[in-house]
Structure 1
Amino acid sequence: MTAPVAHAQSDRSASVTCPPSLTDVATCYTGQDVNDAYYAIAIPKAWNGSLVVHAHGGPDLGDGSDPERSVDDLDRWAVMVKQGYAWAGSSYRRGGYGTRMAAEDTENVRRLFVRQFGKPQRTYVHGQSWGGDVAAKVVEMYGSKAGPYDGAMLTSGVLAGGSRGYDYRVDLRVVYQYYCQNLPRPSEPPYPLWQGLRADSTMTAAGLRARLQECTGYTSPPQERTALQQRNLSDILAVTHVPERTLESHLRFATFTFRDIVAKRLGDRNPFSNKGVWYSGSHDDKTLNAGVERFTADPAAVRDLSYDSDLTGKVAIPIVTMHAIDDPTAFVEHEAAYRATLEGAHRSRYLVQTFTHESEHSQLSNSEYANSITALDTWVRTGNKPTPQMIATSCPAFDRVYGTGCFYDPNFHPAPYASRVNPRQGGLNWPAMTATQEKAWSRISGVGIAP
């Protein structure tokens, strides 16, 4: 069941100056669609006739659409345009969580491109980070064999879906509070930690950083931390397996984005659980497990979050993924979850996964991005499915152009998702949505559901 896609108010985008990375390379346009989502489009002067539709990550948490986001994304993914592809990206109609909403806005910008500039020879959807989940949802919602998309490229994707893809942040949220006791403080109004943060809290990201520093001294050199700060930091990292360099960003998500999911998208219902999780790696696991806050998810909330963001594996077009083995934000085991999903749907023949010896989330090598989109295009045009080794072998030709390196490991296979993230008790057992429940979920999430 797919969401209806609204038409743009106008088929006239404004011509604008391209980002500096595309000076003399492309003609660029911006506009705003009928859902108030800002977008950016670039058409290279040496256009190869095909289009890449981009789904950005995040989610950002502003109330409305950010007019700068799609332009910044165009600059970030200028490599696609330099490879000859037209590029279109939406800023989405609002900030906050909503995978189906973002998928709808991604499809909106594709349709808008077609109305203004004609139907491309081939169309690919590219998603980065949470945008990988969005793009994978686009494939399932709109990517039939006779549909508008010919293939998908998912990079650094959060591909385990919302109902389990954030479980390690659930664990971080409760383990952090056990040790730090400052989110909330004893003097502040209490709230269950699955809310992330009180809906009416005025805390800012800077305020959260201050509390994290107070408890762990994470920004200070080790020799300047107190003994308690160092022990708190060591225990939190050891138990949650969150890298120190991304500890703050994971805690921000488990605080502010959890609040958005719970308070704004799910009507204050709890989609998270840590039932049955045994936390280990601390200096005193027994006391930690006796004292950490426990909660069980509302099955209806899990169902609704799953409906929005989990993946079914029912795909019908070629998909190439790329993921850094040491990704500190979206752990590489997300790829194992995605493969298992497609295998469960008997669709793994549509999937080629590649892995690189890199340690970043959003800044992988441009040589690899250019190589991967070309490998996908070749697969679509010829029907010959590449192997990870073939993709690795073709990269040096692109590195002679971009000079950012080729780091593929064609022999790498990620461990199962449950090897990295503690599974919850109970599993994913909930009834399917009724039509009435779908309409109620639509009102909360801001996404229209087709009858």
Structure 2
Amino acid sequence: MTGRIASGFRRRSGNRRHHLRAGTVAAIAGLVACALPVPASGSTVPPASAAARPGPTSTVCPTKVTGKATCYTGQDSNGAYYAIAVPKTWNGSLVVHAHGGPDLGTGSDPDRSVDDLNRWAVMVDEGYAWAGSSYRRGGYGTRMAAADTEHLRRLFVTEFGKPRRTFVHGQSWGGDVAAKVVETYGAGKHGPYDGALLTSGVLGGGSRGYDYRVDLRVVYQYYCRNHPRPDEAQYPLWEGLRADSAMTATGLRARLQECTGYASEPKERTGAQQRNLDDILSVTKIPERTLESHLRFATFTFRDIVHIRLGGRNPFSNQGVRYSGSHDDRALNAGVERFSADPSAARDLSYDSDLTGEVTIPVLTMHAIDDPTAFVEHEAAYRAALQGAHRERNLVQTFTRESEHSELSDSEYADSISALDAWARTGKKPTAPAIAASCATFDRTYSTGCFYDPAFSPHAYASRVNPRPGGLRWPAMTATQEKSWSRIDGVGIAP
């Protein structure tokens, strides 16, 4: 299998040498063990014997890729399931995909990467090989997901040869993961990545990227008093949910409906429900259509971050935040629960997921202006990070007049990867208007529309999300702390 793929690629590559490296996934495991963080004890990484897992196995392609590529699946030495597709007419380059979420299952989901391949079939249609990891486990951990993404890239090189060019693409939380991949593994002048495409990215990082969900959690409880109820075991709201709670997403929806009637037609809501809903939405600036999904994150994902990844430590703060937009702001600010972050927890969450802007390769972003999940102001936060690192020359941002988060127009995705490829190949930085203009060419193939707004620029992140007074000045890690961060159980966001 690998010999045929490698020899075919050599023919297409002319005099370029792309010899298939000897070895199996075990060789990759040894390489990664030297370069990637050592997992914390108690993590879900398989034992050393897992390094003997076989390489990719040929499988039936998902529906949108059927007949267009040869598909493979497998499980790497860290336990992460993955899917790979090599187009029948391969342009010689690779897109490594970082998926969003995070999913909250305990282990790696074998179906996730296959579903992602079907969802991102546009990359295969454009001639790129595609590889996506399901990550070794569910739950939060940007560096863990970045390590698994890089691990899969190395596995691909071992099995199929070195691609002509390699791009990393991240969507949603995967945008944060992909950006972390670039900073951690691809920031060097001769790093393995030629460019990054970040779409609908959660680019504010964990230390402030979820502040609006922190605000939702406390504002919701102020008005609703049912999460938890007065007769239930109490816990600080920064936990999201107590560790031993049996609450389900269905149960949470029932409480949200009870308080706000959000799932009912306005005429069917009580006066109290409508007032609660109006106040919560106005204060938090969260769209009504995604209120439930944001509250789920502020409940179940916060529990994962606090109890499983940070050993019960609190990384969140709302001290000094003034909430406004309600029917009675004075009462709200006097009665809402307040808390301050544990500096070590805030530091560890920041180290895991915040972005430094230290990139030396082309980075292209695309974001819907009316994204109801990852607000477009995340892009302002990311630009500020690159400006702070004096790397803004490596960034082009594009914006569309869409109102979705999870999936934008295929014509725009095809246009974006083409523009990124041309930038990496020629060194000529594109402009947002030029990218918008070239989209029509791709829309003749995909007919999904081009909605770019080249003149748009997002306001500062703090214009949409209440800033935490005093900024984020957590104590920096010493070299010893950074080295031990992923080794000691309960310290950091363990792999």
TM bucket (normalised to shorter chain) is over 0.9
| Map 1:344-383 → 2, pairs under 5 A | 344-383=388-427
Match of 2:289 in 1: 245
| Map 1:11-90 → 2, pairs under 5 A | 12-90=55-133
1:97 aligns with 2:130: no
Among 142, 158, 182, the alignment partner of 2:202 is: 158
Q: Distance in 2 between matches of 1:146 and 1:114?
A: 16
| Map 1:132-281 → 2, pairs under 5 A | 132-143=175-186, 144-281=188-325
Q: Which residue identity does 1:430 align to in structure 2? A: W
User: Residues 352 and 493 of structure 2 are in contact (CA less than 8 Å); yes or no, is this contact kept in structure 1?
Assistant: no
Among 411, 430, 435, the alignment partner of 1:386 is: 430
CA spacing shift, 1:59–1:234, aligned 2, 3 Å: same
Runs of 4+ in 1 over 6 A off after TM superposition: none
Gaps of 5+ in 1: none
| Map 1:379-418 → 2, pairs under 5 A | 379-418=423-462
Q: Which residue identity does 2:261 align to in structure 1? A: G
Match of 1:426 in 2: 470
Q: CA RMSD in A?
A: 1.5
Q: Distance in 1 between matches of 2:416 and 2:480?
A: 42
Q: Which residue identity does 2:459 align to in structure 1? A: A
Match of 1:437 in 2: 481
Q: Deviations over 1:241-275 (max 9, x none)?
A: 00000000000000000000000111111100011
Q: Deviations over 1:376-396 (max 9, x none)?
A: 000011111000001001000
User: Residues 132 and 157 of structure 1 are in contact (CA less than 8 Å); yes or no, is this contact kept in structure 2?
Assistant: yes
Q: Deviations over 1:187-237 (max 9, x none)?
A: 001000000000000000000000000000000000000000000001000
Shift of 1:425: 1.6
User: Residues 203 and 382 of structure 2 are in contact (CA less than 8 Å); yes or no, is this contact kept in structure 1?
Assistant: yes
User: Residues 415 and 438 of structure 2 are in contact (CA less than 8 Å); yes or no, is this contact kept in structure 1?
Assistant: yes
Q: Deviations over 1:381-436 (max 9, x none)?
A: 11110000010010000000000000001110000000000000232112221345
- Flag the structure with larger Rg: 2
Q: Which residue identity does 1:165 align to in structure 2? A: G
**SS of residue matched to 2:130:** strand
1:114 aligns with 2:157: yes
**SS of residue matched to 2:169:** strand
Q: Distance in 2 between matches of 1:440 and 1:342?
A: 25
**SS of residue matched to 1:162:** coil
Q: Distance in 2 between matches of 1:416 and 1:32?
A: 41
Match of 1:3 in 2: 36
Match of 2:381 in 1: 337
- Which is worse superposed, 425-434 or 300-309? 425-434
**SS of residue matched to 1:28:** strand
Q: Which residue identity does 2:296 align to in structure 1? A: R
Q: Distance in 2 between matches of 1:333 and 1:297?
A: 23
Shift of 1:121: 0.3
Q: Distance in 1 between matches of 2:272 and 2:209?
A: 31
TM-score, structure 2 as length reference: 0.89
User: Residues 360 and 394 of structure 2 are in contact (CA less than 8 Å); yes or no, is this contact kept in structure 1?
Assistant: yes
Q: Deviations over 1:293-351 (max 9, x none)?
A: 00011111110000000000000100000000000000000000000000000000000
User: Residues 348 and 493 of structure 2 are in contact (CA less than 8 Å); yes or no, is this contact kept in structure 1?
Assistant: no
Q: Distance in 1 between matches of 2:434 and 2:470?
A: 41
Shift of 1:145: 1.8
Shift of 1:3: 2.8
- Which is worse superposed, 297-306 or 7-16? 7-16
Q: Distance in 2 between matches of 1:8 and 1:400?
A: 46
Q: Distance in 1 between matches of 2:171 and 2:134?
A: 13
Shift of 1:446: 6.5
**SS of residue matched to 2:364:** strand
- Which is worse superposed, 423-432 or 224-233? 423-432
User: Residues 63 and 96 of structure 1 are in contact (CA less than 8 Å); yes or no, is this contact kept in structure 2?
Assistant: yes
Shift of 1:437: 3.2
Q: Distance in 2 between matches of 1:60 and 1:383?
A: 37
Q: Distance in 2 between matches of 1:328 and 1:79?
A: 24
**SS of residue matched to 1:164:** coil
TM-score, structure 1 as length reference: 0.97
Q: Distance in 1 between matches of 2:62 and 2:36?
A: 32
Q: Distance in 2 between matches of 1:100 and 1:85?
A: 25
